[in-house]
Amino acid sequence: MALFGKMDNLGADQPENQDKKKEITDVEKTRVLIIGSGPAGYTAAIYAARANLKPMLYEGLQPGGQLTTTTDVENYPGYPDGITGPDMMEDFKKQAERFGTDIRFGMATDADLSERPFKVTIDDNKIIEADALIIATGATAKYLGLEDEKKYAGSGVSACATCDGFFYRGKDVAVVGGGDTACEEAIYLAGLANKVYMIVRRDVFRASKVMQHRVFNTPNIEILWEHQTKGLYGDGVVEGAVLVKKKGTPEEEEVKIKIDGFFLAIGHKPNSDIFQDYLETDQVGYIKTIPGTTKTNVPGVFACGDVQDSVYRQAVTAAGTGCMAAIDAERWLAENS
């Protein structure tokens, strides 16, 4: 049985997109293009650069990736005392640059993987043609889908405690979610804010025991078990949230909490949208790779890191698959050019 289904729309492109691409005259070529600058992208760059492939890497909207929004990384081997996410990613970048990676700021906005060389549009105004493509675009924080999240975006709603926590010193905030991210964000915020509510939809955490333990031992965190968010209120900025306790049960009740900040920590969505016409993904959007490799259903296109990993999603596994992608690309280029 073939691993991947038939790609009926391979090469199909909307007429308006074709027109858009025709207008772009700034075209550059590279052997290996890496998109993404998290642990996967930089590790792929280190390996590809050391293999003399002179890779070009586009950093994307969030240079350094998700780790730049985390606090201490304590589980990456080689850092016995831990290291901050931004410092670690700066080290990754320096190492990739040291071997000659052409690192650029820019966001991949479109892709045409119907033929080789592959064409990736950057910032809607430049096309990079690549013999081999390594996708390391990672994943992005999810939102609940409430209108109020948009209404108060940047005015009390955030998906990154380390980016925005500073603004809530001495105030009351809430974190939504019960996983490791939510616990980590709540603990971080507890060091700045007066009080942190955790809004957890079930009566248990999904987080690891060690993170749970830290939350339970942080006195200014209050856990609201079996609560869901109905909406936010406030005059221009968030002043509170309306929650529903034990939704759908006879004890269902509406609860209001006064908060200044509302932080989402409910998981992530893989950044694979621009490749969906060509690459096989799972239902959520994680790019499928041939097990044990980083090969996608399009020969010459490789995926590594969180964009293809719905299971482990760790910096060290992302780096591992980044290494695999560079080796897979190197071997593929040797056989196909």
The pattern of x and - marking residues 285 through 314 that bind ligand NDP according to CB under 6 A reads: ----------------------------x-
- The catalytic position among 110, 131, 148, 164 is 164
User: Sign of the CA dihedral 84, 86, 91, 95?
Assistant: positive
Which of 39, 177, 300, 322 lies at the binding interface for ligand NDP (CB under 6 A)? 177
Is 323 an active-site residue? no
Is 164 an active-site residue? yes
* CA dist., res. 238 & res. 232, Å (int): 7
Which of 41, 178, 240, 300 lies at the binding interface for ligand NDP (CB under 6 A)? 178
Which of 181, 289, 297, 321 lies at the binding interface for ligand NDP (CB under 6 A)? 181
138 is a site residue for ligand NDP (CB under 6 A): no
Which of 32, 266, 307, 326 lies at the binding interface for ligand NDP (CB under 6 A)? 266
Angstrom CA distances, 69 to 40, 240, 306, stand at: 16, 25, 15
Which residue has 């959520």 as its token pair?
Answer: 284
231 is a site residue for ligand NDP (CB under 6 A): no
* CA dist., res. 278 & res. 6, Å (int): 10
* CA dist., res. 56 & res. 319, Å (int): 18
Residue span binding ligand NDP (CB under 6 A) among the ranges 36-44, 82-90, 157-165, 179-187: 179-187
User: Sign of the CA dihedral 141, 60, 66, 171?
Assistant: negative
Is 102 an active-site residue? no
Residues 7-17 as b or e (16 or more Cβ within 10 Å = b): beeeeeeeeee
Q: Which string of DSSP letters, residue by residue, matches 291-311?
A: TTS-B-SSTTEEE-GGGG-SS
103 is a site residue for ligand NDP (CB under 6 A): no
255 is a site residue for ligand NDP (CB under 6 A): no
- Asked if 33 and 112 count as a contact pair (C-beta separation under 8 A), the reply is no
206 is a site residue for ligand NDP (CB under 6 A): yes
227 is a site residue for ligand NDP (CB under 6 A): no
Residue span binding ligand NDP (CB under 6 A) among the ranges 108-116, 123-131, 178-186, 277-285: 178-186
Q: Residue 257 carries which side chain, given as an amino acid letter?
A: I
* Least spacing, CB of residue 25 vs ligand NDP, in Å: 41
By CB under 6 A, name the binding residues for ligand NDP.
75, 144, 176-182, 184, 201-202, 206, 266-268, 313
Catalytic residue annotation = 160, 163-164
